[in-house]
Amino acid sequence: MALARPTLAAIRYGYGLRPGQDSPSDADGLMNQLAKGIAAKDRFPREGLVGRRETATRVISLRAAEAKAAKEGKPNENIRKETQREAQRIYRVDAMSRLAQAIHSPFGFYERLGSFWMDHFSTSALKSLPMRMIVPLYETEAIRPRMAGSFSDLLKSAILHPAMLIYLDQDQSVGPDSRAAQESGRGLNENLGRELLELHTLGAESGYTQEDVRAAALILTGLTVDNRALQMVYRPRRAQGGTITLLGREYQDDEAGSQDHMRMLEDLAADPRTAAHICRKLAAHFISDSPPAEITDVMIAAWKESDGNLGDVYRAMLDHPLAWENPGQKIKQPFEFVVSGFRALNLPDTNMAALLADMEADDDDVGPVGKAMQMAGTAKSAEQRRRRANEANALTLGALQKMGQPIWQPPSPAGVPDTTAAWLTPAQLSERIDWSRRVAKILGQRLEPADFLHAALGDAASPETARVIAQAPSRLHGITMVLSSPEFNRR
């Protein structure tokens, strides 16, 4: 079924239709969304980049001091619990802010690319307490600003960020022959070297060997994290000296601020196998699990002609006629489903703002919203506020947890599954129907199902779905069926 281009653009390349928000109809419109998104300020981290580093270093320092005291037989359980609670609160507020940005942003293509690249360069907030605060920072300062530039710059920014170094244990890795290894007995960790080749650049089927994995890991030795500044630093005493050969190229580390790891990343970014791997993954994400070779071929050609400029690669994909045909080839991931549901229901931004204000408050505080209400003589009890927050959580972060895609918590360095088979399961569909029913009861009671069908899907709704919705026994049932329909769950 052919769709109007604005409908297809919103669903395939964005997070779905939203009442009152125009959708682009061509590649120019989508690329304009990307440019405007990069120029805009993200909603997370909530206190900004500088403020987040200050907050994170303060919490990490407190936790380190408590750990040292505990080791000396003077533990402070209150400090441990308080830092744990603050890091979790920060994570939840950031996660809600990221969700709110996807729901309300008019730059859908920018938002989708943000999710794609965060999944490609996966890190997890579950790795450690500091990572609860660092991963949102990683997305905002390392990934999103570089999504339309050279892949080489994006690769270096992602791999050399503290979040990646901590997640894949690079901060624990030392060269086997280094001074640090001789003094501490610690050794080489190959995690980052392996994922760099398998996931981030060449691809699993590219023909690299275990010797290449080890070589990449050796070249990366010396890189670690300064927890006081939350910055990547190079420590020569941890680096493996001498000449290291990777994929037929020699890299020399002189243990004096060597840049061999930078040269390696640039070489991997320029490898034709990397272009093929990334281009196919992009096309598979946006178009179908098995994208047409005609599309990936022009994307690879654009990569080669532009030395890996990602903006040129996206445009090559979007300019191809097949990029606008055969809608509904992909199943929405849970995050996409929830965001597109809230967009279709036209969730007011003020609702998210009120919830975020409550979430930022301590459990024994009524929060900014509660204080304002108290001044007006209509303050709600802490119990009422908690109940409201719990109900909202069940439709947002809690729902994503149950559906299998909690924000910033991928199941592995490979990221979240991006195939139809991964999400087209009875358990997944049951969770989506339950979510649809619950959100319809809260936000959809005044909507007419037929009108909502048009708002949510436009001309993507099939005649059969329109007939079923018209026969719904109640508004609640009709809204639920729209959100549960095959067309709404596909893109």
HEC letters along the chain: CCCCHHHHHHHHCCCCCCCCCCCCCCHHHHHHHHHHHHHCCCCCCCCHHHHHHHHHHHHHHHHHHHHHHHHCCCCCHHHHHHHHHHHHHHHHHHHHHHHHHHHHCCCHHHHHHHHHHHHHCCCCCCCCHHHHHHHHHHHHHHHHHHCCCEHHHHHHHHHCCHHHHHHCCHHHCCCCCCHHHHHHCCCCCCHHHHHHHHHHCCCCCCCCCHHHHHHHHHHHCCEEEECCCCEEEECHHHCCCEEEEECCEEEEECCCCCCHHHHHHHHHHHCHHHHHHHHHHHHHHHCCCCCCHHHHHHHHHHHHHCCCEHHHHHHHHHHCHHHHCCCCCCECCHHHHHHHHHHHCCCCHHHHHHHHHHHHCCCCCCHHHHHHHHHCCCCCCHHHHHHHHHHHHHHCHHHHHHHCCCCCCCCCCCCCCCCHHHHCCHHHHHHHHHHHHHHHHHHCCCCCHHHHHHHHHHHHCCHHHHHHHHCCCCHHHHHHHHHHCHHHHEC
The pLDDT assigned to 363 comes to 44
Sign of CA dihedral 67, 72, 78, 79: negative
- pTM here? 0.93
The pLDDT assigned to 392 comes to 84
Structure confidence by residue, pLDDT tens digits, 353-402: 776 666 665 444 433 333 433 444 444 567 777 777 788 888 999 999 99
- Arithmetic mean of pLDDT, 460-469: 97
Residue 1: exposed, middle, or buried by beta-carbon count in 10 A (0-12, 13-18, 19+)?
Answer: exposed
Q: What is the rounded distance in angstroms from the CA atom of residue 400 to the CA atom of residue 57?
A: 29
Structure confidence by residue, pLDDT tens digits, 110-144: 999 999 999 999 999 999 999 999 999 999 999 99
User: What values do phi and psi take at 224, rounded to 5?
Assistant: -150, -170
Pick from 265, 348, 285: which is nearest to 115 by CA?
285
- Per-domain residue ranges for the chain? 334-489
Q: What is the mean pLDDT of the chain?
A: 92
Q: What is the rounded distance in angstroms from the CA atom of residue 187 to the CA atom of residue 52?
A: 32
Q: What is the rounded distance in angstroms from the CA atom of residue 380 to the CA atom of residue 58?
A: 33
Structure confidence by residue, pLDDT tens digits, 449-464: 999 999 999 999 999 9
pLDDT-above-90 percentage for the chain? 84
Residue 484: exposed, middle, or buried by beta-carbon count in 10 A (0-12, 13-18, 19+)?
Answer: middle
- Contact (CB, 8 A) for 375 and 366: no
Tokens 């603050």 correspond to: 86
Nearby residues of 206 by Cβ (< 8 Å), 6 or more positions away: 197, 273, 277
Q: Which tokens hold the place of 216?
A: 């990449």
Q: What is the rounded distance in angstroms from the CA atom of residue 224 to the CA atom of residue 93?
A: 28
- Arithmetic mean of pLDDT, 245-274: 88
Is the model more confident about 491 or about 445? 491
Nearby residues of 437 by Cβ (< 8 Å), 6 or more positions away: 476, 480
**Gyration radius (Cα) of the chain, Å:** 24
Q: What is the rounded distance in angstroms from the CA atom of residue 306 to the CA atom of residue 80?
A: 51
- Arithmetic mean of pLDDT, 333-355: 90
- Arithmetic mean of pLDDT, 345-356: 81
The pLDDT assigned to 369 comes to 36
Of 45-49, 329-333, 441-445, which one has max mean pLDDT?
Answer: 329-333
The pLDDT assigned to 21 comes to 94
Q: What is the rounded distance in angstroms from the CA atom of residue 106 to the CA atom of residue 24?
A: 10
The pLDDT assigned to 2 comes to 85
- Arithmetic mean of pLDDT, 12-39: 97
The pLDDT assigned to 384 comes to 77
Whether pLDDT at 108 is above 60: yes
- Arithmetic mean of pLDDT, 63-72: 90
Q: What is the rounded distance in angstroms from the CA atom of residue 171 to the CA atom of residue 52?
A: 21
241-263 burial by CB neighbour count: b if 16+ within 10 A, else e? beebebbeeebebebeebebbee
The verdict on whether omega for the bond into residue 45 sits within 30 degrees of 0, i.e. cis, is yes
Upper half-sphere CA count for residue 453 (Cβ side, 13 Å): 27
Pick from 371, 376, 393: which is nearest to 95 by CA?
393
- Arithmetic mean of pLDDT, 180-205: 96
- Contact (CB, 8 A) for 187 and 176: yes
- Arithmetic mean of pLDDT, 401-415: 98
